[in-house]
Structure 1
Amino acid sequence: MFDIGWTELLLLAVLILLVMGPRELPIMLRTLGRYVGNFRTMAFNFRRQLDIMHLDENDPPHHHDDKPEN
């Protein structure tokens, strides 16, 4: 997708470690993990609501008659 190799990822990790420092890195990663988790939950709920709306549109209308069919 982004065409990033393992060397670019390693360089990025080293740069982040140098900029953030070893003490701040776990806090930053924990916060990032929470944001990613929240985003995934929101995306799942959004997708579920779209599926429910799609199913509601495709269902035939239900007519309830007072008379039972014989």
Structure 2
Amino acid sequence: MRRTDNLSTIGPVASRLGVSRWRLAYWIERGDVPGPSLQVPGRRLFSEIDVERIRRAIAGRATAPPADS
């Protein structure tokens, strides 16, 4: 069984990243940002590495040029 020490659920991770829980979940579902390394029924559990990967993806979204419409 894997240990869940030092893992966070989506709410605290979203707060740390400065986005809403719902927006982060939406981005993960769309594949815009990486998801958690560990999922158990009803929970997404994020490591510090996961949080840093998401932080980089969000920063990349902010600096990406707008898509042509």
Q: Which bracket does the TM-score occupy, shorter chain normalised?
A: 0.3 to 0.5
TM-score by length of 1: 0.34
TM-score by length of 2: 0.34
From the two aligned structures, give the one with the greater helix fraction.
1
From the two aligned structures, give the one with the greater strand fraction.
2
Higher relative contact order (CA 8 A, sep 6+): 2
